[in-house]
Amino acid sequence: MITQTIDISNVKKILKCCPHYDDIINSEVDYEDELSFDLIDWYKDLIFSCNADNEEEVKIIRLIDRSLYMYVNSYKYKIGLKKIIDICLVWVVFYYILKNVRKNVKFSLLFKGILAIIVIKLISDYFGLTTIGLLFEYVISWGPIALIIIFQPEIRNVLEQLGKTHLLGRHKVLSVSERERLVSEIGLSVDYLRKNRIGALIVIERDTSLSEYIERSKKIYAEISNELLDAIFFPDNPLHDGGVIIQGDKISCAGAVFPTTVDMKFSKRLGTRHRAAIGISEESDCLAIIVSEETGRVSLAVGGKLNYNLSVDELKLMILDELMPKSETFVVESDEEDDIDEIN
């Protein structure tokens, strides 16, 4: 039997020349990364076989120690970055799931049912209830397929919403002058329509695309003007019963038909226009302006909420506030604070 003797004093001298030895040996390496394991094993063998009295070998060992330490550090950084990206993606998925669960009653009930099944399965495993545990194991195994079949329309709607929504925003960011002109033209038209008791529904697109409704309506793609809006909603016009969709500072279409809200909290006295405005504001982040044909009152629907009986000036201020970019809002607020400080 051949035994290999190790010179302890030689090893101690070598380790003094390798300040990163512990960091390299104890570094976290992926089990599937055979190259990193081979490098670390080769490094350990090299340490114990090197001659501390040979200056050339010591220089090479120091260089290898420094290089391998840099490699290990970069590897740790990559692993940490992967974990951060992984966690962020999981949170994004959960965010969209919870967002749609809150908005959809069916999804809310489904979510509660899944939680109940998981809790019962855990309880059955804890108390050793074999029969019910086996039953719920089959439910968990085959349940996803059944849910896809049963909730196919809801899942399709969720995927459509994800496809329409852009995380960084998709609508044209209007300049201050363009926003003021847009709001001014809408204000002039709304004032004319309410005075003459002409019904109207004007929808302003924001981040969520309304192309689905534009495709099914009469396309116009014209510069916005109060005269054109008045002409579209004139009672003798065949398009007056539908809605108008505005993209940026252009009128994209007329005669658009929107889904009506099914929320029972709104009064039954609300007409079809008001319900359609609330419905489209529930499905998207648009602004829906309504002029009542019966009373001439002006309303604004945003996020499924109805702001009823507004004056034209109140409507214009609300639209300007909703269309203002967040960064611009911050600048305005900071300017106001500076003015207050100067006054004080």
Q: Is the pLDDT of residue 189 over 90?
A: yes
Fill in the amino acid letter for 250. Answer: K
Q: Is the pLDDT of residue 243 over 60?
A: yes
Q: Is the pLDDT of residue 251 over 80?
A: yes
User: What strands lie across the sheet with 298-302, from one edge to the other?
Assistant: 218-223, 250-256, 243-247, 200-204, 287-291, 298-302, 305-310
DSSP assignment string, 18-52: -TTHHHHHT----TT-HHHHHHHHHHHHHHHH--T
Stated as kind and residue range, the H or E segment containing 118 is helix 105-127
Weakest-pLDDT range from 124-138, 204-218, 257-271, 323-337? 323-337
What pLDDT is recorded for position 341?
A: 41
316, 327 Cβ separation under 8 angstroms: no
Fill in the amino acid letter for 313. Answer: D
Cβ neighbors of 235 (< 8 A, separation 6 or more) are 198
What pLDDT is recorded for position 283?
A: 86
113's tokens:
């049912």
Q: Is the pLDDT of residue 120 over 50?
A: yes
Tens of pLDDT, residues 60-100? 888 888 888 887 777 666 666 677 788 888 887 777 767 66
- The mean of the pLDDT values for the chain is 80
Q: Are strands 200-204 and 243-247 parallel, antiparallel or unpaired?
A: parallel
Of all residues in the chain, what percent carry a pLDDT higher than 70? Answer: 80
What pLDDT is recorded for position 329?
A: 46
